[in-house]
Amino acid sequence: MSPISTEEIESVNLKWVRYVQGQEFTLELEALKNGKPCPAKSRIFTLNPFLDSEQLIRVGGRLRNSDLMFEQKHPLLLPQHHHLTKLIVQHFHERLLHAGPQLMLHTIQQKYWIPRGKDVARARVRKCITCFRQNAEVQQQMMGDLPKSRVVPSPAFFKSGVDYAGPFLLKAMKGRTPKTFKGYIAVAQEIRWPTIDASGNL
């Protein structure tokens, strides 16, 4: 038994698209077959749809004179909420290794056009368990109490001390004539005073 060829897969794919378009765009398909424009009340009227040589509804546009492929200039029209549309979106999502909505929608639009496709792509990513696990939020830990030395008022330098040292000549780079500049060191240290208990011991 020979493996399924690319031509056979494409032929079956077009048959499914034709079947779905016949279910979802009955009035539009009938008008286009009779040489009439798409009804003005139709939800796809603004897409300027037309029938190709295979009697499939494709999206019109202003790219007719471009060098793009015919499928890219006039993608096949798919309904937003049909099961076939969800399967195609899932296929592209997995083929692109769980890409985000923007990349996934851009790739799909090279061949198909889905009304409100951005919402469909986002819904696919939200329902993907793999994407949900990869984008899981990190648990925020509760911060501990601040030390007493930081919340109780005290005179300056009672809890900490600062000392300076310098100047030191520093070189910005290596070479025969390196430029030198002065640098200083600031040292800060927390002061821990000895504690005396009730008996007078340290």
Q: Per residue in 119-165, pLDDT tens?
A: 999 999 999 999 998 887 878 888 888 888 778 888 877 777 888 88
- Do 162 and 121 share a structural domain? no
Task: Give alpha helix (H) positions in the chain.
Answer: 6-24, 26-33, 70-73, 83-95, 101-108, 117-127, 129-134, 148-151
Q: What gap in Å lies between CA 7 and CA 1, rounded to an integer?
A: 16
Residue 198 lies in a domain: no
- Domain with 37 in it: 11-134
- Do 54 and 23 share a structural domain? yes
- Do 165 and 74 share a structural domain? no
- Yes or no: say if 143 and 150 are a contact pair by the CB < 8 Å rule: no
- Do 44 and 79 share a structural domain? yes
Residue 24 lies in a domain: yes
Residue 37 lies in a domain: yes
Q: What gap in Å lies between CA 149 and CA 156, rounded to an integer?
A: 12
- Do 124 and 30 share a structural domain? yes
Global confidence as pTM = 0.65
State the average pLDDT over residues 35-51. Answer: 91
How many domains is the chain built from?
2
- Do 129 and 29 share a structural domain? yes
- Do 17 and 98 share a structural domain? yes
pLDDT at site 191: 72
pLDDT class for 13, splitting at 50, 70, 90?
Answer: very high
For Cα atoms 182, 188, 190, give the angle at the middle one, nearest 5 degrees.
170
Rounded to the nearest integer, the mean pLDDT of the chain is 88
**DSSP state at residue 128:** -
Nearest of 131, 62, 56, 146 to residue 100 by alpha carbon: 131
pLDDT at site 174: 75
Q: In terms of pLDDT, which residue wins out, 178 or 25?
A: 25
Residue 17 has pLDDT above 90, yes or no: yes
